[in-house]
Structure 1
C-alpha cells in the first residue's frame, strides 16, 4: 500500500464530494425556478492494483446527470398564458438568433410584439414553426352565418285569417341582432302567425304556424319564411316533410344566416323567447387569450366572441435525460437524447396542456439539505485521511 496512493485516493474523494456539493448548490438555488430539473451526482469506483498480501487504493469517479424526465409539481396561477405540460413533452422555443431549443418552463407572457416569451427570454413556437403571435392592436370582426332561436308559441292562439305578416297581421314578434360583412349590427325582426295551413294552402289543423324574417328597413322587406308544424305534444315536427327546422336568409350587406328553430315549441297561453344565440361579432381588439388542453390558442374579443389564432405543438424524446442543458433553463437535442418527435398536446405519447399553471422545479429541499450534510461530512473525512497519510509520510521521512 503506497502512502502517495492513499493521498491521491483522498484527493479524489474530496473532488467527488465537491462535485456533489456543486450540484446540491445548483439544486437549492433553483428550487423556485419554473421547470427546473435537479442534478444528481452518481459515484463509481476505479480500483487500484493489488494482491492478496496488500491493497492499493483506487479513486472515485463522479457522473453528473439531470433528472429531466421527472416531473415537478404544478403551481396554479391566474394568468392564461402560463402553461404546464402534464406528462411527456417539451415546449419548442426559439432564441433571438433563431435557434430552436426545448423547455418545460411555461411561464409565458405576451411581449410588445404579441409574442409569447418565457422568463428565459425564449419565444414559444407554434405548429408552423413560427413564434406564437397574438395581434393585440388590429381590430377584427366576423359576419353572422349561423344561430339558434327557440321560442314558445302560445297554443291557445286562434288561427289568423288572411295574408299574414308585417305591418299588423301577425301574432308575435321578436328581434335578433346579426353582423354584416363590415361588422355592423343588423337588426332582424321575426314574426310568428298561426295559420292552420301549410305552404300549399291545404288545411292541416291549428298546430301550423308561419315564421317570417324581415329587415328593419322602411318599409320592412321580407327576407324569408317557413311553415312550422307541431305534433300533438307541442314539439316541432322535424324534417323537410312535414316541417323544416331551419330558417335561412341573407343578412342585408352580410352573409347567409341559418337559424336553427328546432327548440321552438307551442304550449300554454303566453309567448316567450327561450334561446337566442347568433354567431359573429363587431370590430374589437383582443381582450384576452384562451389556450385549450390540445394547444389551440383562441383570441377572446368583446362579448366573449372567440377566434382560433394558432395551435401549439410539443416535442418528446426517447431519452429526455440525454438532453444537454443550456442557459435559460432550456435543452438542446443530442445523440443521447435522440431526435425530437413532434405532436400536439394530448396525442398518443404526448402530455396535455394546463393553462393557468406552471411546472415547478422537482427539487426536494429536505433531501438536498440531507445530501449537503452527507457531502460535507464525507469531504471532512477525506481530509482526515489525507492528513493521516501526510503525517505517516512525514514520519517516514524522519526515519533517516
Structure 2
C-alpha cells in the first residue's frame, strides 16, 4: 500500500508537468515561429538494471511513471502575410542561424528580421544572422528570393545587385534541439551538428519574403490533451486518497 502512494504521487507529478507544457503551448499561440512542445512519458521500473538483466522480478509491478523528455514538434506553422520586406517565413526544413552576445550559435524559425544600428540583418531581439549580412544604408527595392538571395538597388545604380545571401541550418534530428527561450534553440548531442546550406538546395526549405511563420499550436488538440491530463490527474489523486484511507483503516484495526 505504501508503494501505491508513491505510484500515485509520480502520476500527479507527471500530469502536473504535462499541464504546465500545455499551458506554455497555449500562451505561445501568437508567437511567430513557435514550435509546440510534446511530453513523452515512461514507465518507472521497480528493478535496477542489473536485476532486470538477470531476469529477476518478471512479474514485478512497476513503480509509477515519469517524464522521459519534453521535445519540440517540428511541424510547419501557418503562413501569415505582413508585406514587410524583411519578414521571412521558412517553408520546409531549416532554421535561421544567429549568434548571441557570447558568440554561441543559436537557431530560430522566427523570421521577423530587421536592420540593426550597424546595418546588419538581425532578429527582432537584436541577434545578428550568423552570415553577417550588412545591408548598405542607401539600398532600396529590397527583394529576397526563395533561395535566400538578397538583391537591392544602390544609389546611382539602375539595376539591382546582390547584397547578401541568407542560409539555413538543418539537423539530423531537429526534435533533439534544446529550447533556450526567446524562441531559440541550441544544438545537442541528440540533434547532431548543424548543416548549413542555401534555401532550396536538397534537404533545405525555402524562404518567402513578406510573410512570417505562425505558431504550430493547434487549439483543439491542446484543449483535448488538457482535458485528458486533468482527468488523469484526478484519477491519481483518487488513488492517493484511497490508499490513505486503506492505510488509516489498517492502523485502526483492533487487535
Which of 32, 43, 46 lines up with 2:44 in the alignment?
46
User: How many residues of Structure 1 are paired with residues of Structure 2 in the alignment?
Assistant: 244
Equivalent residue for 1:321?
A: 175
C-alpha RMSD over aligned residues: 2.0
Query: C-alpha offsets along residues 294-344 of structure 1, whole Å, 9 cap, x if unaligned?
Result: 111112346874221111111111111111111211111111111211111
1:66 pairs with 2:71: yes
Q: Is the 8 A contact 1:290 1:300 kept in 2?
A: no
Residue 210 of structure 1: aligned partner: none
* Whole-angstrom CA distance in 2 between matches of 1:355 and 1:56: 56
Would you say the 8 A contact 1:37–1:66 is kept in 2?
no
Give the 3-state SS of the residue equivalent to 2:40 in structure 1: strand
Q: Which runs of 5+ in 1 are unaligned?
A: 137-284
Cα separation, partners in 2 of 1:51 and 1:332, compared to 1, 3 Å: closer
CA distance in 2, matches of 1:380, 1:344: 50
Local SS of the residue matching 1:40: strand
Q: Which has the larger radius of gyration?
A: 1
1:298 aligns with 2:151: yes
* 1:5–1:57 contact (8 Å) kept in structure 2: no
Determine helix, strand or coil for the equivalent of 2:242: helix
Relative to total residues, which structure has the larger helix share, 1 or 2?
A: 2
Instruction: Name the structure where strand makes up a greater proportion of residues.
Output: 1
2:135 alignment counterpart: 134
Q: Is the 8 A contact 2:15 2:230 kept in 1?
A: yes
Taking the aligned partners of 1:307 and 1:34, their CA distance within structure 2 comes to 30
Q: Pick from 99, 105, 109: which aligns with 1:94?
A: 99
Greater length-normalized contact order (CA 8 Å, ≥ 6 residues apart):
2
Q: Does 1:376 align with 2:233?
A: no
> Could you list the runs of 5+ residues in structure 2 that have no partner in the other structure?
48-56
Give the stretch that moved more between structures: 41-50 or 323-332.
Answer: 41-50
Is the 2:38–2:73 contact (alpha carbons within 8 Å) kept by the matching residues of 1?
A: no
TM-score (norm 1): 0.57
Q: Which residue of 2 aligns with 1:34?
A: 32
Q: 1:361 offset after TM fit, Å?
A: 1.3
Residues 77-226 of structure 1 correspond to what in structure 2 (within 5 A)?
Answer: 77-126=82-131, 131-136=132-137
Residue 148 of structure 1: aligned partner: none
Between the aligned partners of 2:249 and 2:141, the Cα distance in structure 1 is 78
